Amino acid sequence: MDKLHQMVSFKGLVKLILLFVVSMSLSASAMAQSADAAISVARQWLTLADTDQAGQMWEQSSTLMKSQSDRNTWIGYIGDMHTQLGRSLDARVWQAMEHQIDHPDLPRGEFVSVTFVSGYAKARAWEKVALVWQDERWVPVGYQYGPIEAAAK
């Protein structure tokens, strides 16, 4: 290959590498924004539980969650959580996030679950909010909780 063709090939390779680096940084930025948005939605949704608005939580949830649990059952579930743990006392601390796309055990789509550690009147607890990407935003699809057991002495 003559020098002119080598220079053209090298410049093309450099452009391709730069394009790849730029697209990867944009993709990483979009993923970080999406993760921040999921955490924010999960926190806002749990604030409804803290303020005795379980019915509003159900209203804001996805159709998938609504098909699994009716409004009154959901209100009872959140009431049971308050009975077991007491009232929320301090800020939730985000601990982990799991991301699934087209998981075989779930309906097709993109899901995340956000796990928090929270202080309640009766116990410290873990809380996990599941969200689905729907209509260009994260929508709550489920909630689990449990007390954090004290370490054995």
Q: Are 63 and 93 a contacting pair, CB within 8 Å?
A: no
Give the residue ranges of the chain where pLDDT is below 50: 4-8, 16, 18-30
Write 78-87 long-range contacts (CB < 8 A, 24+): 78/49, 78/54, 79/54, 81/49, 81/145, 82/49, 84/122, 84/123, 84/147, 85/120, 85/121, 85/122, 85/123, 85/125, 85/145, 85/147, 86/120, 86/121, 86/122, 86/123, 87/50, 87/120, 87/121
The string of DSSP codes covering 61-106 is S-HHHHHHS-HHHHHHHHHHHHHHH-SB-S--EEEEEEEEES-TTS
Q: Looking at the domain covering 3-147, what would its CATH class be?
A: alpha beta
Per residue in 62-81, pLDDT (tens digit) is 999 999 999 999 999 999 99
Tell me, what's the pLDDT at 5?
Answer: 45
Tell me, what's the pLDDT at 24?
Answer: 44
- Residue 45: name the closest of 14, 10, 74 by CA: 74
What's the distance, Cα to Cα, between the start and end of the chain in Å? Answer: 74
Sketch the domain layout of the chain as residue ranges. Answer: 3-147
Tell me, what's the pLDDT at 91?
Answer: 79
Tell me, what's the pLDDT at 90?
Answer: 78
Neighbours of 68 (CB within 10 A): 13
Using alpha carbons, list the distances in angstroms from residue 122 to 38, 48, 76, 116, 151: 28, 19, 19, 17, 16
Predicted structure pTM score: 0.76
